[in-house]
Amino acid sequence: MARLKTAVLLSGRGSNLQALIDAALEQEFPAKIVRVISNVPGASGLDRAEKVGIPTTTIDHREFDGREPFEATLQTELQNSGVELICLAGFMRLLTKSFVDRWHDRIINIHPSLLPSYKGLHTHERVLSDGVRFTGCTVHFLRAEMDTGPIIVQAAVPVHPGDDADALAARVLTAEHRCFPLALRLVAGGKTRVIGNRVEIENAGAPDVVSLNPDDGKA
Ligand code: GAR
């Protein structure tokens, strides 16, 4: 089986990269991570890749005069590695429309909220201050506008009484680590079809439960 050559772009810790690495250890997994690229020198995600022998590259955006030259270098690196799909796993740079269009339906991004709610930064703080009872995470195909694009997988995560942003982030992160490998498996396995702003998934099931928060004790 030919596995889809995938690059993971990140800026930091790389716990989502780790979830993808772990999933891709499975022989039947349809994607192979061929390169990990960081825009931040010394990002700890790079160590995770190096530990398992995945080649890494650092492209420090601060060394470039604007987004276009940064992305030109990125594009060359991706091409040289034969990359077919890009996963953004905590990659904290906005990409230009021309880059995103060039990789149309070939970039997937993870975001720590139930999009289209809470785009942008500080999602957990805003969720808490709004008092919503569920948040979550989203994996989606990337479009040029920040944190938009057809949704592949979402997980709903309850907000607990007494949560602070760190506690909520940790609960959401656990869900991210399930969603991103699932989304990559579906996309790389050819199970997704983008129709307008929706993603159709071959043979997809969906949970048959409704969650209440606060719980009414009848679950
Ligand atoms: C994750 O929570 C991811 O959803 C978020 O950054 C974190 C990276 O963690 N991404 C964004 O906010 C992008 N808009 P990680 O480095 O441990 O995977």
pLDDT for 163-189, tens place per residue? 999 999 999 999 999 999 999 999 999
pLDDT of amino acid 202? 97
Pocket test for ligand 1, best of 15, 168, 180 (most atoms within 8 A of CB): 15
Number of neighbours of residue 13 by Cβ within 10 angstroms: 15
Mean pLDDT for the chain overall: 97
Q: How far apart are CA 45 and CA 48, in angstroms?
A: 5
Architecture in CATH of 4-201: 3-Layer(aba) Sandwich (3.40)
Residues with CB under 6 A from ligand 1: 10, 12-16, 45, 89-90, 110-112, 173, 176
Task: Please name the residue whose Cα sits nearest to atom 17 of ligand 1.
Answer: 15
Query: What is the distance in A from the centroid of ligand 1 to the CA of 112?
Result: 7
Indicate whether 200 pLDDT > 80: yes
Task: Please name the residue whose Cα sits nearest to atom 1 of ligand 1.
Answer: 90
pLDDT of amino acid 45? 98
Q: What is the atom index within ligand 1 of the atom nearest the CA of 12?
A: 16
Q: How far apart are CA 57 and CA 65, in angstroms?
A: 19
Query: What is the distance in A from the centroid of ligand 1 to the CA of 191?
Result: 25
Task: Please name the residue whose Cα sits nearest to atom 5 of ligand 1.
Answer: 90
pLDDT of amino acid 33? 98
219 confidence band (pLDDT: 50, 70, 90):
low
The residues that are catalytic are: 111
Query: What is the distance in A from the centroid of ligand 1 to the CA of 17?
Result: 10
pLDDT of amino acid 18? 98
pLDDT of amino acid 217? 83
Q: How far apart are CA 2 and CA 20, in angstroms?
A: 17
Query: What is the distance in A from the centroid of ligand 1 to the CA of 9?
Result: 11
Higher pLDDT, 128 or 1: 128
Q: How far apart are CA 196 and CA 42, in angstroms?
A: 39
Closest CA to 37 of 113, 107, 82, 88: 88
Backbone angles phi, psi at 197, to 5 degrees: -100, 10
Task: Please name the residue whose Cα sits nearest to atom 8 of ligand 1.
Answer: 90
Instruction: Write down the domain spans for the chain.
Output: 4-201
Q: What is the atom index within ligand 1 of the atom nearest the CA of 169?
A: 2
Q: What is the atom index within ligand 1 of the atom nearest the CA of 120?
A: 14
Q: How far apart are CA 203 and CA 117, in angstroms?
A: 27
Query: What is the distance in A from the centroid of ligand 1 to the CA of 110?
Result: 7
